[in-house]
Chains A and B, each alone.
Chain A
Amino acid sequence: MKRPPLTPIIAAVPLAIVGVFVVGSSWLAPDATNQDILTGATPPGTSGHPFGTDQLGRDIWQFALAGARSAVVGPIVIALGSMLIGLVLGTIAGYLGGYLDLLLSKYADLLLALPTTLIALVVAGLVDGGYWVTVLVLVVLFSPTDIRMARGAVIAQSTQPYIESARVLGLSRFRIMFRHVVPNVLPIAFTTMLLNVAFALVAMSALSFLGFGVGPGTPDWGRQLSDGRNLIGRNWGAVVVPGVLIIITAVSVNLLGDWLQERYEQRGVQR
């Protein structure tokens, strides 16, 4: 099936907009956290508030705009961090083999055998050490997939003639691994990373939806959504705005990752 190149464009536009939200939230939403308890929750269309206000009288739209940062930055860090761990440990396991490989593979197996959502909830909920601790917990929980991916890709690479040549030339193992094998693994690593951003986005906002990772009063989509649930009868904006933003962002990242993966696989077939 041939896909039109429309897919990446459709996915990139919302992501670019969210990117603008992340960078420019202080200009675009200067009054995001301004409270007005006397006003309280108002429906969409109230003067000055296109999507109404929440219980504390905060503007739904501005609060959602400011929440983009916490919804997006963490997941990107999670995907980057777990990929870094995956590349280093996976490359070592795949290239050196032996006991080290066995040990690392068993570690990855152990983490993969656990139900991720459940463990993320229990661990992040118990640690409850704020935003960056939650990010760290998710880096650890995400790393096994990346270790496996990198290990598999490195093993596939190491039978290639160029590695053989490098070995014959007498290059050190370390140098072969990180100067020659890793760069060839990077395209697939990037694709995996993009898909991981999508998963992390869902996981992270799910945790904040449950009340973990983001303190009360911090603009965050998951948190805003869970607060909005109580307002569902009074102001639909409180549910629809953060809900639609999360869905569009997560789906766009997924779409882009899927597209890249398909392209990468097709190129592999053609070779």
Chain B
Amino acid sequence: MRGLFAKGSVARFVAIRLAATFVLLLALSFIVFGLLHLTPGDPARNLLGPKNPSPEALAAIREKYRLDQPFLRQYALWLGDVVRGRLGTSIRNNTPVTTLLADRVVLTFQLAVFAFGLTIVLGVPLGIAAAWRAGSAFDRTVSVTSIVGVGAPSYAVGLLLLYVFGVWLDIFPVYGSGDGGLDTWWHLVLPAITLAFGIGALVFKLTRTAVVAELQQDYVAFAYSRGLDQRQVRLLVLRNALIPVATSLGLVFGFLFGGTILVEVTFALGGIGGLLASSVTFKDIPVVQAITLLTATVIALTALGVDLLYYVVDPRVRKRGLG
């Protein structure tokens, strides 16, 4: 047992990171809960609508959702439920949060995977190609485009794409997420391009920088002078340069998962991002909590996975140990 958790061991590293993630999630949930309470707005009133509701109706709703309890007690009760795997009931829809999320998580996941695929297919090869020909017209064109991709807000890009390809050229659907299967993928084309444009630009920059830096290493000059042909040298360079790229792609996925909110709202998709935005306005506490924690967990776990991936692919990290 001692040996398993020895300093620098993988098990110890994972254990510490999981503990830290747990503390982070706990702190996050408390902050969100606290903010929901400190800020104006009352979910019970939101539910009953703008007309003057009867005190009895308000009291009944408050009791049902425990809104009448003191703050810390509400939090403790909520936490106790979560530990037992119960995420509670949405105040707005009166549906179990798990049901509400189950339908939507799939769509958000689909969108993230789609955009992730596009990001890899576009960002990495273009980054490599631009680095081979650093300074050329091709490199400049793609580099400038990537600056636009990094800088421009996704929702603005999305709406312009929506106008050009949805309304003007009338190729893609304008709203919603389709009726499942292929139709849904078709509806996700523009949103995925929008997401991939911004994040693909980052991946492009990263790949280009990594390959350019690797090309300046001494071993490259040595390999050429030994008479290795360009193809062989490039293979060597790629093997080394793509380690940081591969690991950063893991972070990209976590980022995509959290970054879908705006794109989902832009394209009126029924994923968890759109749900979060409207639940925040409504102060639908259980839903906001569940989505925040779900997203934070996905991001924290992908980050942990990335660090472990480093351990697998980079012998230097393996030798030094993690942590």
Verify if B36 is at the interface (C-beta below 8 Å from A): yes
Contacts A113-B300, A121-B261, A122-B280; A205 near B153 (Cβ below 8 A)? yes
Verify if A225 is at the interface (C-beta below 8 Å from B): yes
Q: B159 to A229, Cβ gap below 8 A? A: yes
Residue from the list A117, A129, A239 in contact with B160, Cβ < 8 A: A239
Q: B147 to A126, Cβ gap below 8 A? A: no
- The residues of A that contact B296 with a CB separation of less than 8 Å are 114-115, 118
Task: Write out, one digit per residue, whether chain B residues 282-305 have a CB within 8 A of any chain A CB (1) or not (0).
Answer: 010000100010011001100000
Chain B interface extent, by class: 35 or more
Q: B163 to A239, Cβ gap below 8 A? A: yes
- The residues of B that contact A214 with a CB separation of less than 8 Å are none
Closest Cβ–Cβ distance, residue B19 to chain A (whole Å): 13
**Interface residue count on the A side (C-beta < 8 Å):** 44
- When chains A and B are docked, how far (Å) is the Cα of A114 from the Cα of B29? 12
Verify if A253 is at the interface (C-beta below 8 Å from B): yes
Q: Which of A32-40, A45-53, A171-179, A240-248 contacts B (4 or more CB under 8 A)?
A: A240-248
Q: Tell me the A225-271 residues at the B interface (CB within 8 Å).
A: 225, 228-229, 232-233, 236, 239-240, 242-244, 246-247, 250-255, 258
Verify if A123 is at the interface (C-beta below 8 Å from B): yes
- When chains A and B are docked, how far (Å) is the Cα of A236 from the Cα of B157? 14
- The residues of B that contact A251 with a CB separation of less than 8 Å are 147-148, 151-152
Closest Cβ–Cβ distance, residue B174 to chain A (whole Å): 7
- The residues of A that contact B166 with a CB separation of less than 8 Å are 232
Verify if A85 is at the interface (C-beta below 8 Å from B): no
Q: A122 to B288, Cβ gap below 8 A? A: yes
Verify if B121 is at the interface (C-beta below 8 Å from A): no
- The residues of A that contact B266 with a CB separation of less than 8 Å are 229
Residue from the list B150, B156, B159, B277 in contact with A254, Cβ < 8 A: B150
Q: A232 to B174, Cβ gap below 8 A? A: yes
Contacts A126-B35, A126-B280, A232-B162; A250 near B152 (Cβ below 8 A)? yes
Verify if A131 is at the interface (C-beta below 8 Å from B): no
Verify if A23 is at the interface (C-beta below 8 Å from B): no
- When chains A and B are docked, how far (Å) is the Cα of A242 from the Cα of B156? 8
- The residues of B that contact A17 with a CB separation of less than 8 Å are none
Q: A247 to B152, Cβ gap below 8 A? A: yes
Verify if A202 is at the interface (C-beta below 8 Å from B): yes
- When chains A and B are docked, how far (Å) is the Cα of A225 from the Cα of B277? 17
Verify if A127 is at the interface (C-beta below 8 Å from B): yes
Q: B168 to A236, Cβ gap below 8 A? A: yes
Residue from the list A113, A206, A255 in contact with B151, Cβ < 8 A: A255
Q: Tell me the B239-292 residues at the A interface (CB within 8 Å).
A: 254-255, 258-259, 261-262, 265-266, 276-277, 280-281, 283, 288, 292
Contacts A118-B296, A121-B277; A206 near B155 (Cβ below 8 A)? yes
Q: A255 to B147, Cβ gap below 8 A? A: yes
Contacts A113-B24, A206-B262; A125 near B277 (Cβ below 8 A)? yes
Residue in A closest to B255 when the chains form the complex, CB atoms: A115
Contacts A110-B27, A118-B295, A229-B159; A254 near B147 (Cβ below 8 A)? yes
Verify if B76 is at the interface (C-beta below 8 Å from A): no
- When chains A and B are docked, how far (Å) is the Cα of A129 from the Cα of B157? 28
Residue from the list A125, A206, A229, A243 in contact with B281, Cβ < 8 A: A125
Q: A236 to B167, Cβ gap below 8 A? A: yes
Q: B24 to A209, Cβ gap below 8 A? A: no
Residue from the list A198, A225, A233, A252 in contact with B159, Cβ < 8 A: A225
Verify if A169 is at the interface (C-beta below 8 Å from B): no
Q: Please, could you name 15 A-B residue pairs with CB atoms under 8 Å apart, sorted by A?
A: A110-B27, A117-B261, A121-B280, A128-B41, A202-B153, A209-B155, A242-B156, A243-B160, A246-B156, A247-B152, A247-B156, A247-B157, A251-B152, A252-B151, A254-B150
Interface residues, chain B, with chain A CB atoms under 8 Å away: 24, 27-28, 31-32, 35-36, 39-41, 134-135, 139, 147-148, 150-153, 155-157, 159-160, 162-163, 166-168, 174, 254-255, 258-259, 261-262, 265-266, 276-277, 280-281, 283, 288, 292, 295-296, 299-300
With A117-B261, A225-B156, A250-B151 given, name 18 new contacts (CB 8 A).
A117-B258, A122-B35, A122-B276, A125-B277, A126-B35, A126-B39, A128-B281, A206-B153, A209-B155, A210-B262, A225-B159, A228-B159, A232-B159, A232-B167, A236-B167, A243-B160, A250-B152, A254-B151
